[in-house]
Structure formats: structure tokens, C-alpha cells
Chains A and B, each alone.
Chain A
Amino acid sequence: DIVMTQSPDSLAVSLGERATINCKSSQSILYSSNKKNHLAWYQQKAGQPPKLLIYWASTRESGVPDRFSGSGSGTDFTLTISSLQAEDVAVYYCQQYYNTPHTFGQGTKLEIK
């Protein structure tokens, strides 16, 4: 199975500041045939299901604010929130869908400083 490891486990950022979450896969999740990284980012608020933010490592899902962006390729990926808002408090997960079983990172808890 592909192991997804996020860092840090928790993060406290001031309102309006940048938040950066990292995700590393145990093997490359860049699919050679379509040149796409099979990596998604989800936001999960307390008591709610996960919400898709980013797929193909950098494609923002419809309706997601443009302060959320994804980058990276191969085995190393980053989710960036350019200017933290109060409503961004949540746990963030990365997921690889390159291989089955699909696997998720352990989550990064984002709080307001």
C-alpha cells in the first residue's frame, strides 16, 4: 500500500497569514500515461464529511475559494491557504488515488493562532 505522510500534524496560523501543509507519498503517484498526479486534498470540519478541495494535485474543485492552492509532483505535495480565514479551521487530508487501496494521510489540524 502507498503510505501518505502529512506534516505537520497540527498548525496554528494567524488570520490573514499563509498556511502550508505538506504531504509525502511512499512512492510516486504521477501516472505516466496522463501525466497527472493522482493526489487530492480534503477539508473536514467538525461533525461533517470531508469536502474535496483540490484534485490532480493542483486543480481546484468548483466553488472552492482561490486562496486554496495545491502544488507538487511525484512524491511531494503542498496545500497552501494564502490568507487564512476563520472558516478554514478544520482538519485537512491528502489522498492518493493512483493505486488501490486508496490511502489518506493522517490529517493536519489547522487552528487560528
Chain B
Amino acid sequence: QVQLVQSGAEVKKPGASVKVSCKASGYTFSTYGIHWVRQAPGQRLEWMGWINTGDNNREYSQKFRDRVTFNMDTSASTAYMALSSLRSEDSAVYYCARDLLNGIHDAFDIWGHGTEVTVSS
């Protein structure tokens, strides 16, 4: 079935970097873009950006632009999100999500299970 499987939970120290993977299965990876969304405890969902898996074009939220990088490995049907200079406020569950109709201005129809990132000294 169509699914996104994310990498496991991470614990990082302030100032470190984290890389989360998102492996797609059940569909052609390059047909639909991947969004990254995070959810800090008690906070609303927060969009971090999007990668077009067809042409590797990316759009980053202004809030994260200096610290986040999206990459992908089409042969492995996997998207990656790397976040640097971590601080305690970055402790959250990070989700990847597929766009519904292959465009940045789409709803998200398939979500990964989430990767919990904890930033603590």
C-alpha cells in the first residue's frame, strides 16, 4: 500500500544537526512532492517546506531557510530533511507528507508516522 516510513527517534545536543529520512513505497516516488511539517508539544502543525521529487526543486519556509536542507535519493525512493544548529525549541515530531495532486499548492494525503527529535543538553 502507499506509505511513507520515517527514520527513528533522535536525541541531539544543542548546536548539533539531525537528518530524518522518509522512504516512500507503493507509488512512483517522482510523481508526487514531499512536504516536511513539524509539531512541537502543544503547538500547531508547522510547515517547513517542500521538495519536488520530479525535478529536485525546493521551497523552504522563511523561518527555517538558514538551517534546513531537503535532499532526495530517487533510486531509493527516499527524501531527507536535515536541520542544523539545533536548539531546545526544535524538539518536536517531524513529519513528511505527500502532496495530493503533485504540486506545492496541494493538501497532504499521505503522512509518515513521524520522527521525534529531542534536543537536550
Given contacts A40-B108, A97-B106, contact A106 B61 (CB under 8 A): no
Contact among A48, A61, A102, A103 for B35, CB-based, below 8 A:
A102
Main secondary structure of the interface of B (DSSP, over half): loop
Residue among B46, B61, B97, B108 with max Cβ neighbours from chain A (10 Å): B108
Contact among B44, B61, B63, B104 for A93, CB-based, below 8 A:
B44
Given contacts A40-B107, A93-B44, A104-B45, contact A49 B113 (CB under 8 A): yes
Q: Are A101 and B105 in contact (CB under 8 A)?
A: no
Contact among B45, B59, B113 for A95, CB-based, below 8 A:
B45
Total residue contacts A-B, CB cutoff 8 A: 57
Q: Does A32 count as interface, using CB distance less than 8 angstroms?
A: no
Closest to B111 in A: A49
Q: Does B55 count as interface, using CB distance less than 8 angstroms?
A: no
Q: Does A50 count as interface, using CB distance less than 8 angstroms?
A: yes
Q: How far is the CB of B7 from chain A (nearest CB, A)?
A: 15
Q: Are A49 and B114 in contact (CB under 8 A)?
A: yes
Known: A38-B105, A42-B108. 15 other contacts (CB 8 A): A40-B108, A49-B95, A49-B114, A50-B97, A50-B108, A52-B107, A93-B44, A98-B105, A101-B61, A101-B63, A102-B47, A104-B44, A104-B46, A104-B47, A106-B44
A positions within 8 Å CB-CB of B: 31, 38, 40, 42, 48-52, 55-56, 61, 93, 95, 97-98, 100-107
